[in-house]
Structure 1
Amino acid sequence: MAETTQSSIDAPEHPARPLPPYVPRLAFAGGLVLTGVVLIMTVGVHRPGGEEPPPPAEPQAALPVPDQKPQPGVATPRAGLAAPPDRPTVSDAAELETWAHRVAGKTRLAATDLSAYGRAEMWLRRQKPGCHLSWATLAGIAHVEAAQGRPGPITLPPDVWAKQAVRARSDGKQPDPKDLDDAAFATARYLCAAGDDVATPAGWWKSIRTFDPAVPYAQEVFSAADAYADASVAP
């Protein structure tokens, strides 16, 4: 019997052929497809149904303010929905917040701003009962100040601020001209300082023109205050 050589034992019966050149490309393409499927499934976990998130809500448009241009001393803005009664011995914060949110829904003003105007009306109702200042006048002033691009919520001259500034909240802090609550309260004190009844045409115009003597300024405040007051009492 012939002796078997080592080379005949190790050599395969049929030598291996090289892979066709398209096979690696097919494997690569398959990997890409699998990766895409995984990504789609992952996105589907975080966004049910694969839907895009809803777009952000559009900001609410400001309340239209008709340009009335009333003549000085002829009329006053309408009275807005009165702020809650001032309660010196108990907390009235919850009532003020409820009122502010109710008026905010009708006037399209921020509830935090309305709280500041309403608090000033409440405090002046007790400190200067004959003034009859409405929050709507303060809102009208803030509207004109913002339209004119002046810095601060309501800007008062330094000498007026030094005389009229009082902290609007009982927290022991110093009044801050950049704080709307303090600025609204100081402005209310300034408008009522002369002792005039701003519920009368003569008193309102005198008070506003003490704040700013320009007739067009007072007319713009009148228009804004009247619009806010009217909206606040609408059904």
Structure 2
Amino acid sequence: MTDKADQTTGRGVRLAYTAAVLALVALVGTVHPHHDAQTPDTPPPGAGGQLPAIRLDAASSPIDQLRDWAQTRATQSGIPVQAVQAYGYATVVMARAQPGCHLGWTTLAGIARIESNHARFGGARIAADGTVAPPIRGIALDGTGGNAVITDPVATARSGRTVYARAMGPFQFIPDTWKRWGTRADVDYQTLATALQNATPVTATALSGSPDNIDDAALAAGRYLCASGGDLATGHGWRTAIYAYNHSSTYVEQVRSAATGYDAGTSH
């Protein structure tokens, strides 16, 4: 990472499962690679097998080429097919842009399971274009209950009063983090190639996408993880990436458990 601001940005709020009841828990992470020394490295979860080869330069939407694959995985896992398709597409794109990262779709699925139950938290659903509605929002990060204090500068400037940030969308991005890493998934690959290959934030507003679109959010999460962990095929790299996403050893193991289940082809 070259931008110090990116090294100190809080990632967000996760949606945790407690006694089968979803509750919002505010936990702050950073994109700065940081190894959790309390837990030894273990091999990362399996990547869920090889994804189908697709043409990223196809005239029609490249993501649609994964529909049959996603349908099979959705049936096996209980994940909505559009969510699986989003995770798979982000994995394919990142494999092309950063082949040394070795991101697996199961890792994205594991994170999304914990963050929002695959965009289903609070009765949300995924529309045909990937939009998740109603929008999923975390609690206000105003410092109460042990939460971090993070303001939303754009909303604050617009309203003239202090507005506290809330994590957004199925991957629960903090607004400032999304501003740096948000990425539209429905633009042609060549448009994104330079930014993706350099692992640097996309600065063009037209490319920032929406945290409430699962295709965009999955790709942004993939970029974030690759920038944080390096080689996710290693135990150290994988743990570093997930711990950067949320500074909690418990969270890391929750994601590992979910991802391992998806790799094994089981519902989770």
Query: Residue 192 of structure 1 aligns to a residue in which SS?
Result: helix
**What letter is aligned with 1:223?**
S
Whether 2:139 is the aligned partner of 1:169: answer no
Whether 2:110 is the aligned partner of 1:140: answer yes
What percentage of aligned pairs have identical amino acids? 38
Q: What does residue 73 of structure 1 align with?
A: 41
Distance change in 2, residues 1:173/1:187 (3 Å): closer
Q: Among 101, 104, 116, which residue is 2:74 paired with?
A: 104
* RMSD over equivalenced CA pairs, Å: 2.5
Once the two structures are superposed, residues 145-171 of structure 1 have per-residue CA deviations (whole angstroms, 9 ceiling, x without a partner) of 126987321112222211111101128
Is contact 2:66-2:88 (8 Å) kept?
Answer: yes
Residue 79 of structure 1, CA deviation: 2.1
Q: Among 244, 254, 259, which residue is 1:220 paired with?
A: 254
| Mean CA deviation greater in 185-194 or 214-223 | 185-194
Residue 84 of structure 1, CA deviation: 2.1
Distance change in 2, residues 1:213/1:72 (3 Å): farther
Q: What does residue 98 of structure 2 align with?
A: 128
Query: Residue 256 of structure 2 aligns to a residue in which SS?
Result: helix
Distance change in 2, residues 1:195/1:205 (3 Å): closer
Distance change in 2, residues 1:72/1:155 (3 Å): farther
Residue 195 of structure 1, CA deviation: 6.0
Is contact 1:83-1:119 (8 Å) kept?
Answer: no
Distance change in 2, residues 1:93/1:119 (3 Å): closer
Residue 143 of structure 1, CA deviation: 0.8
Q: Distance in 1 between matches of 2:228 and 2:54?
A: 22
TM-score w.r.t. length of structure 2: 0.56
**What letter is aligned with 2:51?**
A
Q: Distance in 2 between matches of 1:181 and 1:93?
A: 9
Q: Among 183, 190, 199, which residue is 2:224 paired with?
A: 190
Whether 2:133 is the aligned partner of 1:116: answer no
Query: Residue 44 of structure 2 aligns to a residue in which SS?
Result: coil
Is contact 2:63-2:86 (8 Å) kept?
Answer: no
**What letter is aligned with 2:106?**
A
Q: Distance in 1 between matches of 2:228 and 2:263?
A: 24
Residue 72 of structure 1, CA deviation: 4.0
Is contact 1:72-1:215 (8 Å) kept?
Answer: no
Q: Distance in 2 between matches of 1:226 and 1:164?
A: 26
Q: Distance in 1 between matches of 2:47 and 2:88?
A: 13
Residue 226 of structure 1, CA deviation: 0.4
Equivalenced residue count is 164
Q: Distance in 1 between matches of 2:69 and 2:43?
A: 27
Return the index of the structure with the highest Cα Rg.
1
Is contact 2:232-2:241 (8 Å) kept?
Answer: yes
Q: Distance in 2 between matches of 1:104 and 1:180?
A: 15
Is contact 2:185-2:209 (8 Å) kept?
Answer: yes
Residue 108 of structure 1, CA deviation: 1.3
Once the two structures are superposed, residues 180-202 of structure 1 have per-residue CA deviations (whole angstroms, 9 ceiling, x without a partner) of 11111100000001461101101
Q: Distance in 1 between matches of 2:92 and 2:244?
A: 22
Structure 2 residue ranges without an equivalent (≥5): 1-38, 123-135, 138-168, 189-205
Q: Distance in 1 between matches of 2:40 and 2:57?
A: 40
Structure 1 residue ranges without an equivalent (≥5): 1-70
Query: Residue 219 of structure 2 aligns to a residue in which SS?
Result: helix
Once the two structures are superposed, residues 99-152 of structure 1 have per-residue CA deviations (whole angstroms, 9 ceiling, x without a partner) of 100111111111110011011001101111100000100110011112698732
Residue 83 of structure 1, CA deviation: 2.4
Q: What does residue 263 of structure 2 align with?
A: 229
- Name the one with the larger strand percent: 2
**What letter is aligned with 2:89?**
R
